[in-house]
Amino acid sequence: MVKYRVEHPRDRRTYFSPPFPAHDDVVYSAGLIDGEGWIRIKCGNGRQRDRYYVTVAVKMTDEAVIRWLAATWDGSVSGPNQPSNPNGRPSWTWSVTHRILTESVLAQIQPYLKVKATHAVNALALLREPSTRASADYFEIQARLNRRGPVEPVQLKVMGGSE
């Protein structure tokens, strides 16, 4: 794997280059994220209240699939998480939070998403938006998209304009 450096002046750590899996792996990953996963925008806390973070994650009881996602896309694995139901099985979670890796995953799976396509477009717009003021708008849009129950139509922003 080729390594690259993040250009932020305070972050000089070396990271691996974003992965580019085979087409079938991208499509399968999109199906997993669409059915078992989530795309979340989270607001920072404390001194980083104006920072927004995108997470792509999948939680399921099949550890092999979670390990496969980590091997394919990088990211982290947590688990086993004990179920609240005594008859339930332990679950595992794969997640990607690094900005460059998250953008790479979303950009590759977005054409194949059905349920979470709007979530991915909104999260990609936030990742590519240089303004923190506009980031708050993407955060609010994502919060509406992630609500349970019927979802009202959402007008997405596209780099300073509207779609």
What tens digit of pLDDT does each residue of 131-142 get? 666 777 887 888
Q: Which one is predicted more confidently, 25 or 136?
A: 25
Which range has the worst mean pLDDT, 49-53, 128-132, 150-154?
Answer: 150-154
Token pair 């890796």 is at which residue? 101
User: pLDDT band for position 48 (50/70/90)?
Assistant: low
pLDDT score of 12 = 55
Asked whether the predicted pLDDT for residue 152 surpasses 90, the reply is no
Angstrom distance (rounded) from CA 122 to CA 145? 10
What does the pLDDT look like over 51-60, one tens digit per residue? 788 999 999 9
* Cβ-proximal residues to 1 (8 Å cutoff; 6+ apart), any chain: 16, 17, 19
User: pLDDT band for position 118 (50/70/90)?
Assistant: very high
| Domain positions in the chain | 20-162
**Where is mean pLDDT largest: 4-8, 110-114, 130-134?**
110-114
One of 3.40.50.1820, 3.40.109.10, 3.30.300.30, 3.10.28.10 is the CATH number of 20-162, namely 3.10.28.10
Angstrom distance (rounded) from CA 125 to CA 29? 21
pLDDT score of 3 = 44
SS3 64: helix
Q: Which one is predicted more confidently, 152 or 119?
A: 119
What does the pLDDT look like over 66-105, one tens digit per residue? 999 999 998 999 989 888 888 889 999 999 998 888 999 9
Neighbours of 119 (CB within 10 A): 25
- The angle subtended at Cα 117 by Cα 116 and Cα 120, nearest 5°, is 85
Which phi-psi region, left, alpha or beta, contains residue 43 (left: φ > 0; alpha: ψ -120 to 50)? Answer: beta
SS3 93: strand
Asked whether the predicted pLDDT for residue 1 surpasses 60, the reply is no
